[in-house]
């Protein structure tokens, strides 16, 4: 693969929220739009588990179908979105750093045509999304 067909990055934030508090927010897919400005509408087709599909509509854009490909309670979930031959995987990891400290990591892996331009566009708001998620998780204790 040439360089424009593969793109990776990750963003992280540290929080005092527990992995369980963060996970409870992740599991409530219908409420993602309350803390993620990049989601206008979202619907999940079943349980928050590997293999389940969901539909997410960013503001002013077409809705996208994504699938949960790896879900591990209080540890991580990975979703995959395919647009033609382009595949975008986003890993949402929860890493315990010891008592009262948790790191939330969003890791993006885009592969396929135009990955190097679409990857950065998809993940541009991740720092704001992570800050909003951490703030909400800290408030739900």
Over the stretch 43-77, which tens digit does the pLDDT of each residue have? 999 999 999 999 999 999 999 999 999 999 999 99
Q: What percent of the chain has pLDDT over 70?
A: 98
Residue 141 pLDDT exceeds 90: no
**Mean pLDDT taken over the chain:** 95
Q: Which tokens in the block code for residue 6?
A: 């593969």
- How much is the pLDDT for 1? 43
Give the model confidence (pLDDT) of 14-39 as tens digits: 999 999 999 999 999 999 999 999 99
- Domains in the chain (CATH in brackets) are 3-28+69-139 (3.30.530.20)
Token pair in block for residue 31? 């409420």
**0.85 cut: is pTM over it?**
yes
pLDDT > 80? residue 2: no
Return d(Cα 18, Cα 133) in angstroms, integer: 12
């Amino acid at each position: 693969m040439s360089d424009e067909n593969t793109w990776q990055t990750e963003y992280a934030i540290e929080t005092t929220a527990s992995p369980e508090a963060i996970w409870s927010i992740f599991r409530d897919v219908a409420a993602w739009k309350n803390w993620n400005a990049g989601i206008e509408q979202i619907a999940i087709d079943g349980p928050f588990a590997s293999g389940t599909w969901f539909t997410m509509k960013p503001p002013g854009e077409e809705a996208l179908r994504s699938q949960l490909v790896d879900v591990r309670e209080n540890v991580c979930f990975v979703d995959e979105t395919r647009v033609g031959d382009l595949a975008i995987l986003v890993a949402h990891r929860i890493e315990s750093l010891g008592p009262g400290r948790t790191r939330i990591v969003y890791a993006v892996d885009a592969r396929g045509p135009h990955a190097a331009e679409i990857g950065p566009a998809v993940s541009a708001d991740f720092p704001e999304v992570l800050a909003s998620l951490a703030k909400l998780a800290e408030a739900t204790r």
